[in-house]
Amino acid sequence: TEIYLMHGNRDFLLGERFCAESGCQLLPDPSLIDLAGIPTLLMHCDTLCTDDLDYQAFRRQVRDPGLIRDFLSLSIPQRLAKVTEYRAMSGEATSLKAEDIMDVNQQTVEAYLRKFAARRLIHGHTHRPAAHRLQLGERQVTRIDLGNWYSAGRALVVDAAGWRWLEVDCPG
């Protein structure tokens, strides 16, 4: 079974060594693929949340090559302490934000779909599982927002018959 991985919020430091040892293949964000005959754009999606200016600034900061180099030079206990600190700050900041700015910006979604000529967008990040149908000129497109896996999850199954949700139990 081939396994593909795209960086998310907390795993963006995974790289070539992880892929070599796990057998995963890292996909760039965004990636345009042919999925069951439909041009499909795969994205983590945080770059679509353009109304959340604080998050976008934080994202640029933590993905800075110098900061990454400095972080990776820390011991494992020091890294864990930093991650715990960042998670606490993120949770606090998120609790103070308006819901609408933490979702995708519709104009940014449409711009990406046009740029890549995609008929479907599959993404995570916002954890609001749903399918949204959009009209882009003459084309109808679908944006599928994947859920989280905190207590129960959904897998998206796509084949020649279309797409569907598969409910998955997440024990513990």
The CB density around residue 31, as the number of other CB atoms within 10 Å, is 14
This prediction has a pTM of 0.85
Q: Which of 108, 166, 114, 119 is nearest to 142 (CA)?
A: 119
* pLDDT tens per residue across span 121-156: 999 877 778 899 999 999 999 999 987 766 667 788
More confident residue, 12 or 5: 5
